[in-house]
Amino acid sequence: MVVGVVIAGGLVNLPALADQGDIDNVIILPTPLSDIGDTTSPLQKRLEFAIGEAMIDLGILPLAPDFLSIPSVESGQQTDIPGVLRTIAAQHAGRLLAVEINLLSTAEHEPHPIPAASVIDIGTGRLVARTSTLPLLEPDDRLEITASAAALARALARQLEQNGYVMSAAARKPWGGRATDYRVALEGFDLCERRELLTTMEKEFPGFLSLELVKAPNPTFAVYVYRSTATGQRLQKWLEQLMVSYRIAPYASSRILAKDSSIRVLKDRSHKIYSPLCDA
């Protein structure tokens, strides 16, 4: 029996894309069906779906896949997958970036899967982004999968933007309107955790202008003035996704409360955030 392999060929309305300028296109390559057997966990498929969700949360809209049936290796027919992707790229403005999801493994007696992702520029054939995240200790846990996907999406977006790719309309226009001073209170975060969180807010959150410490009366509480052109709703959304990527379940180990220009981020002190700054 011939097992079919599928590859995504994004078909999006071209006039709609024209209004976006030359925003680069992202397509998430699906796991070949031949890799999923009766005894194989569909973890990779779940990661692909979750990464699509995480990218949309970041303002990156992957091309909607139109699945094309391609003969498998067992059939003896060779498939020019790069050629298929180049054909798709020619149908769209901007460059086409193919995202491939992989599962690595730890070198332990009982190995754990390590989610990883790579991005290839179809026009040049260059590897333009690559990252991995922490091992999945409980691969069936939806929160762990969502957290890994959020971390991968954030890291890929940062690398791509650093390499000159335009990932969303946000890169073409300033976020929000006038600058706003937000009073951001971090509760339950130690010094290293605050440093990790604030560094991400400075480097990855669009619209950032400045950050000043107001007070830090104890080791796990501090208040800052965060100046940004982003809206409060956007800041809250980005913070929520950041908490997910840190593997802190919303409404369980952390809460984000927002009112007007005040934002409180509360975390259970017993739930530590991994950071190379503190755990190296």
Sequence ranges of the domains in the chain? 5-171, 174-279
At residue 170 the predicted structure's pLDDT band, cuts being 50, 70 and 90, is low
Give percent of the chain with pLDDT exceeding 70: 76
Q: Which CATH number fits domain 174-279: 3.40.50.1110, 3.30.1360.210, 1.20.140.10, 3.40.109.10?
A: 3.30.1360.210
Give percent of the chain with pLDDT exceeding 90: 30
Task: Look over the chain and give the mean of its residue pLDDT values, rounded to a whole number.
Answer: 78
Of 227 and 83, more confident: 227
Would you say residue 204 has pLDDT above 70?
yes
* CATH of region 5-171: 3.40.50
Mean pLDDT score, 234-252? 81
pLDDT of residue 36: 43
At residue 218 the predicted structure's pLDDT band, cuts being 50, 70 and 90, is very high
- Residue 190 token pair: 């130690």
pLDDT of residue 122: 92
Would you say residue 280 has pLDDT above 70?
no
At residue 126 the predicted structure's pLDDT band, cuts being 50, 70 and 90, is very high
8 Å CB contact between 98 and 107: no
Nearest to 24 by CA among 95, 79, 124: 95
pLDDT tens for 26-46 read: 999 876 643 444 444 588 889
At residue 7 the predicted structure's pLDDT band, cuts being 50, 70 and 90, is very low
pTM over 0.95: no
Would you say residue 217 has pLDDT above 50?
yes
pLDDT of residue 237: 86
8 Å CB contact between 222 and 186: yes
pLDDT of residue 69: 43
pLDDT of residue 92: 79
Mean pLDDT score, 242-262? 82
Q: Are β-strands 254-259 and 262-267 bridged in parallel, bridged antiparallel, or unpaired?
A: antiparallel
